[in-house]
Structure 1
Amino acid sequence: MPRSENKRSVCSVHNTMWRTCSIFCAWTLLFLTEVCAQSQQRTFTCGGNITGESGVIGSQGYPGVYPPNTKCVWRITVPESKVVILTFRSIDLENDNLCRYDYVDVHSGHVNGQRLGRFCGTFKPGALVSTGNKMLLQMVSDANTAGSGFLADFDSAPPHERGDQYCGGRLDKPSGTFKTPNWPEKDYPAGVTCFWRIVAPKNQIIEVKFEKFDVERDNYCRYDHVSIFNGAEVNDAKRIGKYCGDSPPAPVFSEGNQLLIQFLSDLSLTADGFIGHYKFRPKKLPITTTPPTTTTQPVTTRPIPLKYSAALCQQTCKRRGTLESNYCSSNFVITGTVITAAMRGGSMYATVSIINVYKEGSLVIQQAGKTMSTKIIILCKKCPLIRRGLNYIFMGQVDEEGRGKIAPQHFVMAFKKKNQKGLNVLKNRQC
């Protein structure tokens, strides 16, 4: 073949290949454009009832900025024999340490189910698993909005076939095992919330033992911890114990036929985790339930009921004694910032963001990430007088509901950094 003809042949092949590639690329571009257009046209509404094996949920208007002053509720239902697994793809809500303004609540079940978590800011929690076939999401926004909201996938799976990346669920076999995600290959992840609901026949109780246990240590188990409750829901009045550290808790026995085990990890340090075992026992077995305590710091004080009375508030409002003289006689001693204060009757009801805990007693402390808060009632609204936004040292008693109560004879003063050293000394004092 002459060289010129050979060159024309090669060029012909090249041109044909180029035209084919161009057509293919054009079709590919058209297809991707159409897919993108369809995804952009998808709109998410405010709440709804959603059924099926899997699906996607987004906040109203996602990925645009969510509207202000709204409350949206989504109710997810998967087939009866399965549980719901929720995974956030994206979350972008107004940030606040206590998630007080804009937030998403996730509950197991549709009515009166335990809350699996409250989320805001941009932190994506680990997978959340319901104890049954229903889950509820509620998103609340105030007058000021910030962000695109959230996008989440839900899936369904048999309770015992979720894989190690998930945790929690209903356990109703005569015996079984529960463990933290990733056990034993690596540490449990940050930002995990797990609930195991153990249900025995009505004439039996439940025994729980931990074989291995390693959860971030803290004197008050404020960060990563395991809580065990009698019954089927989180209820501080029915809490058997709260545990952390690297010593396995003593065996736990339920009072009735249901037990709830809750595991929470915050956003920072993690550890090996744990593996535990449960089994059903006859109800006649002597119950040696462990006291409501932590594995590192026992509760040494009992709630003392205090009541408001007009006579109490007629006393002269004068601070009595010193930090030292009031420390041992107080059920709780904390420093904190007053973040809310509301009048009810003759008393002031305050929420305090905790700076430090020196004596916890039976005070109920709530956790959101690394921020702790508690409820305090000033029995006489003007004595001692507190103001929102200021820092105080609170020394007082605890009522039967775990709230701090401050009467005129108790010790409250403005907190300054120079008080820190004296409080640290008192913390190590034997009362």
Structure 2
Amino acid sequence: MNRLTSCCLGLLLLLSGAFSQQPQRRHNFACGGNVTGDSGYIGSEGYPGVYPSNSKCTWKITVPEGKVVVLLFRVLDLESDTLCRYDYVDVYSGHTNGQRLGRFCGTFRPGALISNTNKMLVQMVSDANTAGNGFIASFSAADSNNRGDQYCGGRLQKPEGTFKTPNWPDRDYPAGVTCSWHFVAPKNQVIEIKFEKFDVERDNYCRYDFVAVFNGGEINDAKRIGKFCGDSPPEPIVSEGNELLVQFFSDLSLTADGFIGHYRFRPKKLPTTVPPTTTTPATTVTASSRPTVALCQQKCKRSGSLVSSFCSSDFVIIGTVITTVTRGTSLHATVSIINVYKEGNLAIQQAGKNMSTKIIVVCKKCPAIRRGLNYIIMGQVDEDHQGKVLPSSFVMNFKTKNQKSLHILKNKQC
């Protein structure tokens, strides 16, 4: 045996030994089922092959009493859609009538999800057209009293601690997530919470992403202390009794930095901070921010050309209108972005490879846009980084031939 042959044979034996030491685990996942234990895995049917079409699979996870379920997606590869309308995975706290912790699709993995009890339900739904390998997720049992603060929600019974949105402070909180922190103090104590940093998608009525705080341990509007959004931290809040619930909700579009808050239990006899009793958005509406009737009664006609409007606009995008909602005299639209030619300070949300933004068409019928169609949209950006489209703004149906002109304009100095 020559030296070259001996060397190659030795290398092969070394590699063979190295590979043989690696665990060769392959899970055969079925469509749903009851899963119990301290830890384990669940995955879409047929993973890592393409998941079946027209299916609905439900997994009921149960860990030992006194623990909570922590779920972590290791792989997520489903048909991508901004609103997760086609193929998706829903995660619920509890087995029946539980609170939904989130809906997920595409390839963007959320942070760890945690139930409020020892039960969790995971459901995957696919339509007629599939695209992807599905998902694999690990679950484990965690001590509800000593689990750290890296998870989304849970039951908190320590005398003090912190709570924060998923991904804080490294990146924005994910879209489509619901977290509930249930604080339980001894009978003779109350809970005080303070938000150190706070940045949740801004809206005058906190309709999209928000933090809601309730006296007691349930989501009950009659016991709601306040509902908050924007970038101004709420004033310190003190519960009436020994239980408090903080709910964080994010919809399936724009997100923001999130928040970090601190809590402590203290005797009931100390003077308390009077909590707000009504919805308190972090923004206020001024008369100047509302479209005037006179403006919307003007003749609907855009001014300027593609070239002149490009320079006078704060943002220029091509996108598909995926949602439209009429609010008073205006139209609020979510646009799935195809290309950005001029961004300005426009708030753009990115989830994986998908980008979207929200715009307000100040006069709902002018310019007229329809859901499902592609447009070139130019407009202004307000102090809240939201796109505003006026009757005079340049908006037109997108045609492929327009791309060349826009690419040239993108490099032009206005």
Quote how far apart the aligned CAs of 1:13 are.
9.1
Aligned to 1:140: 125
The superposition leaves residues 317-365 of structure 1 with CA deviations (integer Å, 9 ceiling, x where unpaired) of: xxxxx972899xxxxxxxxxxxxxxxxxxxxxxxx934686789xxxxx
C-alpha separation in 1, matches of 2:293 and 2:257: 38
Contact 2:362 2:390 (8 Å CA) reproduced? no
Mapping 1:365-380, distance limit 5 Å: none
What TM-score, normalized to structure 2? Answer: 0.61
Contact 1:180 1:275 (8 Å CA) reproduced? no
SS at match of 2:235: coil
Contact 2:363 2:391 (8 Å CA) reproduced? no
1:353 aligns with 2:323: yes
CA separation of 1:112/1:99 partners in 2, compared to 1, >3 Å: closer, same or farther? same
Which of 74, 77, 97 aligns to 2:82? It is: 97
Contact 1:193 1:262 (8 Å CA) reproduced? yes
SS at match of 2:293: helix
Aligned to 1:277: 263
Contact 2:68 2:114 (8 Å CA) reproduced? yes
Which of 275, 293, 305 aligns to 1:324? It is: 293
Which of 32, 47, 56 aligns to 1:71? It is: 56
Aligned to 2:47: 62
**Amino acid in the other structure paired with 2:265:** K
Quote how far apart the aligned CAs of 1:414 are.
8.0
Quote how far apart the aligned CAs of 1:137 are.
0.6
Which of 190, 193, 200 aligns to 2:173? It is: 190
CA separation of 1:235/1:324 partners in 2, compared to 1, >3 Å: closer, same or farther? farther
Aligned to 1:85: 70
Question: Based on CA coordinates, which of the two structures has the bigger radius of gyration?
Answer: 1
Q: Which runs of 5+ in 1 are unaligned?
A: 1-10, 301-321, 328-351, 361-366, 373-390, 395-412, 425-431
Contact 1:216 1:225 (8 Å CA) reproduced? yes
C-alpha separation in 2, matches of 1:85 and 1:12: 57
**Amino acid in the other structure paired with 2:48:** P
Aligned to 1:260: 245
Aligned to 1:293: 279
Contact 1:218 1:245 (8 Å CA) reproduced? yes
CA separation of 1:139/1:255 partners in 2, compared to 1, >3 Å: closer, same or farther? farther
Contact 1:44 1:60 (8 Å CA) reproduced? yes
The superposition leaves residues 230-286 of structure 1 with CA deviations (integer Å, 9 ceiling, x where unpaired) of: 443445665433323443212334466543212356787643732222436649988
CA separation of 1:235/1:99 partners in 2, compared to 1, >3 Å: closer, same or farther? farther
**Amino acid in the other structure paired with 1:274:** I
C-alpha separation in 1, matches of 2:270 and 2:294: 48
**Amino acid in the other structure paired with 1:275:** G
Mapping 1:325-340, distance limit 5 Å: none
C-alpha separation in 1, matches of 2:144 and 2:65: 11
Mapping 1:17-416, distance limit 5 Å: 21-28=11-18, 31=20, 39=26, 42-173=27-158, 175-180=160-165, 186-187=169-170, 189-191=172-174, 193-200=178-185, 206-210=191-195, 212-216=196-200, 218-220=202-204, 221=206, 225-234=210-219, 239-254=224-239, 257-264=242-249, 270-271=256-257, 273-279=259-265, 282=268, 288-297=274-283, 324=293, 353-354=323-324, 416=368
C-alpha separation in 1, matches of 2:70 and 2:157: 19
**Amino acid in the other structure paired with 2:390:** K
Contact 1:392 1:415 (8 Å CA) reproduced? no
Contact 1:81 1:133 (8 Å CA) reproduced? yes
**Amino acid in the other structure paired with 1:72:** C
The superposition leaves residues 368-406 of structure 1 with CA deviations (integer Å, 9 ceiling, x where unpaired) of: 98688xxxxxxxxxxxxxxxxxx9977xxxxxxxxxxxx
Q: Which runs of 5+ in 2 are unaligned?
A: 297-321, 331-348, 370-378, 380-387, 394-414
CA separation of 1:111/1:218 partners in 2, compared to 1, >3 Å: closer, same or farther? same
What TM-score, normalized to structure 1? Answer: 0.59
C-alpha separation in 2, matches of 1:135 and 1:127: 13
C-alpha separation in 2, matches of 1:182 and 1:267: 16
Contact 1:96 1:120 (8 Å CA) reproduced? yes
Contact 1:94 1:147 (8 Å CA) reproduced? yes
**Amino acid in the other structure paired with 1:74:** W
Contact 1:193 1:264 (8 Å CA) reproduced? yes
C-alpha separation in 1, matches of 2:80 and 2:4: 58
C-alpha separation in 2, matches of 1:326 and 1:205: 52
Contact 2:363 2:390 (8 Å CA) reproduced? no
SS at match of 2:390: helix
Which of 386, 390, 409 aligns to 1:421? It is: 390
Quote how far apart the aligned CAs of 1:124 are.
0.8
